[in-house]
Amino acid sequence: MDEPYRIKINGGVLSPGELKYICEAAESLGLDAISFGSRQDIIFPEQIDESKFDQFNKIQFIKPKRDGIQNIASSYVSAEILPSTSWLTSDRYLYILEQFKHKLKLRVNITDPKQRLVPLFTGNVNFIASEHEDYWYLYVRLPGWKKTLMYPALIYSWDMDKIEIAIENILQEEPETIETVFELVSDAVDTNNRTVDKSLEVPFYPFPYYEGMNRIGTDRYWLGLYWRNNRYDLKFLKAMCELCSENKIGKISITPWKSFIVKGIPQKSKLQWEKFLGKYGINVRHSMLEMNWHLPVNDPDALNLKKYLVTNFDQNDISTYGLTFGITSYESDTYNFTSIVIEKNKQPDLKGDFKIRDTYNLLYAKNFDPNTRKYIMHVQDVDKVELPGLLMELSQLYFEQLGTERDEEEVEVIKKETSEEEVYQCSDCLTVYNEVYGDITQDIAPNTSFEDLPATYECSLCEASKSNFEKKVLVK
């Protein structure tokens, strides 16, 4: 079918009232269910009557490929329930997301590197929280770029929107390097950048189980709901929104895995929620075998392939805990973000009535960690019937190497990372000057020694003089 209509959900966060309104609109348009997309947006899975759109003035119906409008993705959904950066609270996410009011032309991700539920690098513009409060690493991969590159400065929380707009505005100049992007953006907007003093560290966590009722603290719960066919019944969703309002729950969060999470269920209401789920016959105990998959939207062939593979896993009693799987095709323009990728090949052009069976490639992320952004080809051009055995082989390889040093190159990197490192720190605000990174905010190139800095050099954050810096030895 034609690309389905979608509704932007800023950062994957919406109120029960907003979701109920969308459900009522979907019903009026003749639907009985909605779906969720990998960009944490809402999808109308069937054809709808465009002539009725004017009846719903609170909704903007979009087709990203046609309209060029993108949804912003965020890891708000993981706040409070998964490992997190201490300063990046639910409230902070909401304040930051509120900045982005324009129609995004680029895919933007706003994420915490300490969680695994939301991918970090699948956007064109990826803001990733640093250890410094309200400062973010920025990784850029503009359309046509083959690699994701680090912007050479940390971005202040309240500059994120204007920096993204500036990047959109320079697209017509077709910048090819991150240095060019930095120069053009710096010329266009005034910012409160901070120097990069250390590389981004993304700890490895196995993919979490995110379904069912789970405790937050001592007196609240969060609920994760997943439906394998990605068709969420409108009557159920409307009733759930009313229950959220009754329990004073202000936000519902969509995940990139075609599921959603409700946080903040009061302990006294837990039984009420369990009765509610039972009344609607909702299953909250799906196997990890099927919850850790990313499939193209409205692709019955991909769904059937997943069912075939999951059934084989189940029959062979195979564990895939911590792994994620993606099904894609040769024509896909999305970035992979799963541990293992099953890629469908293009069929050769043949004359006549010959029927050729589909073939697939299997790739896996380095160390089975998609955040490495490096994929290794395992096999090419294999038949569907060969896939279960090969995937079980990869699953076994994952568990064999889990938690161990991998190769000599990585061991050397680990040794270097645990060595001592000399830096210079401002005694007033504790900003660090690291010779490895320099200070591009003041045109100081990487690998510039502190002694070679001009006498006029000032702290990039508090503008203290060069003499205010003290040598420190960091043990990494």
Which residue segment(s) compose the domain that 297 sits in? 291-401
Top pLDDT among 229 and 88 is at 88
Same domain for 347 and 223: no
Report yes or no on 341 lying in a domain.
yes
Cα separation, 348 vs 358, in Å, equals: 10
| Backbone torsions φ then ψ of 342, nearest 5 degrees | -105, 110
Instruction: List, for residues 308-321, the tens digit of each pLDDT value.
Output: 999 999 999 988 88
Based on the number of CB atoms within 10 Å of its own CB, is 448 exposed (0-12), middle (13-18) or buried (19 or more)?
middle
Q: Which amino acid, residue 354?
A: F
Same domain for 303 and 324: yes
363 DSSP β-pair partners: 341, 377
Judged by DSSP in three states, 228 sits in coil
Report yes or no on 196 lying in a domain.
no
**pLDDT reported for residue 428:** 79
Return the ∠ at Cα 174 (arms to 168 and 176), rounded to 5°: 110
| Backbone torsions φ then ψ of 77, nearest 5 degrees | -55, -25
Same domain for 396 and 349: yes
**pLDDT reported for residue 410:** 47
Q: What is the CATH number of the domain that holds 89?
A: 3.90.480.10
Percentage of residues in the chain having pLDDT higher than 70: 95
Report yes or no on 161 lying in a domain.
no
Same domain for 383 and 297: yes
Q: Which amino acid, residue 227?
A: W
DSSP H or E segment with residue 186:
helix 178-188
Q: Global pTM? A: 0.85
Virtual torsion, Cα 15, 16, 22, 27, nearest 10 deg? 180
Radius of gyration, alpha carbons of the chain: 24
DSSP H or E segment with residue 95:
helix 90-99
The alpha-helical segments, DSSP class H, found in 338-402 are 387-401
- Name the token pair of 332: 């896909």
**pLDDT reported for residue 475:** 56
Of 401, 426, 441, which residue sits at a domain end? 401
Report yes or no on 192 lying in a domain.
no
Cα separation, 320 vs 207, in Å, equals: 10
Instruction: List, for residues 380-437, the tens digit of each pLDDT value.
Output: 999 999 999 999 999 999 998 887 644 444 444 444 444 567 888 888 777 888 888 8
Lowest mean pLDDT among 74-78, 235-239, 290-294: 290-294
Report yes or no on 126 lying in a domain.
no
Same domain for 307 and 276: no
Neighbours of 419 (CB within 10 A): 10
Helices and strands (H and E) in the chain: how many: 11, 24
| Backbone torsions φ then ψ of 233, nearest 5 degrees | -60, 130
Cα separation, 137 vs 364, in Å, equals: 26
Judged by DSSP in three states, 271 sits in helix
Of 286, 302, 335, which residue sits at a domain end? 286
Lowest mean pLDDT among 287-291, 353-357, 445-449: 353-357
Percentage of residues in the chain having pLDDT higher than 90: 64
Instruction: Please say if the pLDDT value at position 462 is more than 90.
Output: no
Instruction: List, for residues 10-44, the tens digit of each pLDDT value.
Output: 999 999 999 999 999 999 999 999 999 999 999 99
DSSP H or E segment with residue 66:
helix 64-67
**pLDDT reported for residue 476:** 52
- Name the token pair of 234: 């409108």
Local confidence band at 288 (pLDDT 50, 70, 90 cut-offs): confident
Q: Mean pLDDT over residues 1-6, rounded?
A: 82
**pLDDT reported for residue 437:** 81
Report yes or no on 189 lying in a domain.
no
Same domain for 217 and 73: yes
Report yes or no on 378 lying in a domain.
yes
**pLDDT reported for residue 417:** 46
Same domain for 471 and 357: no
Say how many domains are in the chain: 3
**pLDDT reported for residue 411:** 44
DSSP H or E segment with residue 289:
helix 288-291
Same domain for 102 and 251: yes
Q: What is the CATH number of the domain that holds 445?
A: 2.20.28.10
Q: Which amino acid, residue 350?
A: L
Instruction: List, for residues 187-243, the tens digit of each pLDDT value.
Output: 999 999 999 988 999 988 889 999 999 999 889 999 999 998 899 999 999 999 999
Based on the number of CB atoms within 10 Å of its own CB, is 123 exposed (0-12), middle (13-18) or buried (19 or more)?
buried
Cα separation, 338 vs 326, in Å, equals: 6
Of 243, 263, 286, which residue sits at a domain end? 286
Angular region, 260: left φ>0, alpha ψ -120 to 50, beta rest: beta
Judged by DSSP in three states, 79 sits in coil
Neighbours of 457 (CB within 10 A): 18
**pLDDT reported for residue 353:** 67
Q: Average pLDDT, whole number, for the chain?
A: 89
Same domain for 243 and 99: yes
Cα separation, 386 vs 374, in Å, equals: 24
Same domain for 111 and 23: yes
Tell me the DSSP string of 99-117: H--S--SS-EEEE-TT-SS
Count of positions (residues) in the chain: 476
CA distances from 401 to 165, 369, 404, 405 (A): 42, 12, 6, 8
Same domain for 68 and 1: yes
Report yes or no on 22 lying in a domain.
yes
Same domain for 301 and 445: no
**pLDDT reported for residue 402:** 81
